Amino acid sequence: MTDPSVPPHDPNAAPQPAAAEAGAPLSQEQDVQWGSFAHLGGILGILPSLIIWLVFKDRGRFTATESKEALNFQITALIGWVALFIVSSILTAVTFGLFGFVASLLYLALWAAVVVFSVLGFLKAKEGQHYRYPFAIRLIK
């Protein structure tokens, strides 16, 4: 007896193209592309690097390496943002707001460093070369 909820198989039907598997390995071009995007995404914060690392780390060797490097740099930058916030809050309170100007310059310098190093990583990875940030706490091995 056949199940009425399952449509019968038609042997004369044209074969359907296979859909790309979600976990299919990346081509060399895609591997380099996603690896470079992991660096460039750092301009927006930690999420792009994290998402690319989680989604593509098992699908391409280059992407796994580059997204992990970008993610470690973004974690380091996030630690820097938090530390700067804590220190500047305390010093601004102690100096009755005078440190606020210096703190804003430090925030700007940290943002500029993140943007510059993210773009440098993108440009190097786009050429298929590995990029290592000059300073990053490598928490993800």
**Along the chain (141 residues), what's the average pLDDT of each consecutive run of 10 residues?**
58 52 81 94 94 92 94 96 96 91 95 96 95 91 84
- For residue 18, what pLDDT is reported? 45
Is 62 within the bounds of a domain?
yes
Is 131 within the bounds of a domain?
no
- For residue 81, what pLDDT is reported? 96
Is 110 within the bounds of a domain?
yes
- For residue 19, what pLDDT is reported? 41
Is 60 within the bounds of a domain?
yes
Q: Residue 53 is encoded by which pair of tokens?
A: 């690392």
Where in the sequence is the domain holding 50, given as residue range(s)? 28-126
Is 16 within the bounds of a domain?
no
Is 97 within the bounds of a domain?
yes
Count the domains in the chain.
Answer: 1
DSSP 21-84: PTTPPPPHHHHHHHHHHHHHGGGT-HHHHHHHHHHHTTT-HHHHHHHHHHHHHHHHHHHHHHHH
Is 22 within the bounds of a domain?
no
Q: Tell me whether residue 34 is exposed, middle or buried, using C-beta atoms within 10 angstroms of its C-beta: 0 to 12, 13 to 18, 19 or more.
A: buried
Is 8 within the bounds of a domain?
no
| Residues 140 and 72 sit within 8 Å (Cβ to Cβ) | yes
